Amino acid sequence: MHHVRRLGPLLLLGLLGSGAARTAPTVLSVPQAGPSSTVLPGGIADATGRTGFFASAGGGIEALDLATGKVLWHTHEAQRPLLVVKDHLLAQAGVKRNRLRILRLDLTHKGECDLESDPVVFPAWVVTGEALGRSFSTHWHVEKHQLVLEWEASAWYVGKARPTVEQEMAARKHTSGVALVDLRTGQVEVRPATKIAAPSAPLLPEHLEKKAVRWQGLVGQQWKVLTLEETKEGQHLMFYSWDRQSDKCSEPKELLRGKRLVVRATLDERFLCLREAHPRPDEKDLLTPSKPVSWWWLFSVETGELMGRIPAEPGMHAVVVLGKRVLYLMPGSLRGPLDPHTLQPRMLKAIDLTSGKKLWERAVAGKLLTPPRL
């Protein structure tokens, strides 16, 4: 399947009609994995799609059999899986301070570490994991024998009272940079960040520009466009393919019709998830004796074909299609009083794409609930 590049922010459009305001789309980055990796919710998979590597609920990294959810092995030496390169997993060790190391874990020996890098050290105020008043974003890729880290960090005021201008300015920080880790020796080279202008989105044909575009992305040489159109019968989500070279647009294909239609893209932008905000009368299956199922219908971005359906659960996010399975994250139940350091538990679920039935689920690393910026 071709790489998909998405344009425009992810839209959840249950309450928006065709007259909704639109802004000019900009090209956004899509989650990247290595040459032998596939991005998963909270982790990555190897090239075969049989094994996934996730930050575990108990700390460390777990290797899971993606068919059964069974734990194959685990390690507490590293906390975050990064990339799979051939028969090795590259992982981040250190998420609490302003430094990290890269561990190379041998997948043929149940994650045994055969290389540990020198530390990559950041400014003293940076935290390389989740922390109150801090953010740390990264992009990892491999170039020849080097693991390249492009990073960006920010800090802002955190407190119960609204800060003064001086306090807010003193707390606000931002920096970025590049680090190269030699995968033969573990040595680290630090470089300043290089700014690259994001490519702008091309103009769509006039008849598409006038429509309410809900999603658009590039697949090979074709722009794929999803529009929301209204008639007396209700709303219609229409799928177009536009060839950039020939400037020809295909006949639109209706993917879904109904009321208050909702659009969501998968994490890797290769599938569109569509549904009504309320279930249709012909959906008779039940998750519980008293609550009817609302379904996400999954369509391929490349072909526009229906691939299957999964139940819509409140709070589900980071959806990925992997073969005949769909993986996504669900928030777990909170226990005890809420405070600034409350950790939101998370559950990884696997659903059969054909039947919509749950295959397995497993707890993975939680997410820190951070208060909004004042």
Local confidence pLDDT in tens for the 374 residues of the chain: 444 544 443 333 333 333 333 333 333 333 444 456 789 999 999 999 999 999 999 999 999 999 999 999 999 999 999 999 999 999 999 999 999 999 999 999 999 999 999 999 999 999 999 999 999 999 999 999 999 999 999 999 988 788 899 999 999 999 999 999 999 999 999 999 887 766 666 677 888 888 899 999 988 889 999 999 999 989 999 999 988 888 888 899 999 999 999 999 999 999 999 999 865 555 555 444 455 678 999 999 999 999 999 999 999 999 999 999 999 999 988 776 666 678 889 999 999 999 999 999 999 999 988 766 65
The answer to whether residues 319 and 39 touch, using CB atoms and an 8 Å cutoff, is no
pLDDT at 80: 97
pLDDT for 290: 52
Q: Are 245 and 221 in contact (CB under 8 A)?
A: yes
Query: Is the pTM higher than 0.85?
Result: no
Query: Quick one: pLDDT at residue 339?
Result: 66
Query: H or E stretch including 34?
Result: none
Q: What is the pLDDT of residue 199?
A: 65
What's the CA dihedral at 125, 130, 136, 140 to 10 degrees? 130
pLDDT at 278: 67
The pLDDT assigned to 195 comes to 75
Predicted confidence at residue 207, as pLDDT, reads 80
Say what the pLDDT of residue 282 is.
52
List alpha helices for the chain, DSSP H: 165-171, 206-209
Place of tokens 């969501």: 264
Instruction: Determine the pLDDT at residue 288.
Output: 46
pLDDT value of residue 342: 81
> CA-CA distances (angstroms) from residue 32 to 10, 200, 330?
17, 20, 22
Q: Are 220 and 2 in contact (CB under 8 A)?
A: yes
pLDDT at 220: 85
Q: Which domains does the chain have, with CATH numbers?
A: 4-27+200-368 (no CATH), 44-192 (2.40.128.630)
pLDDT for position 2: 47
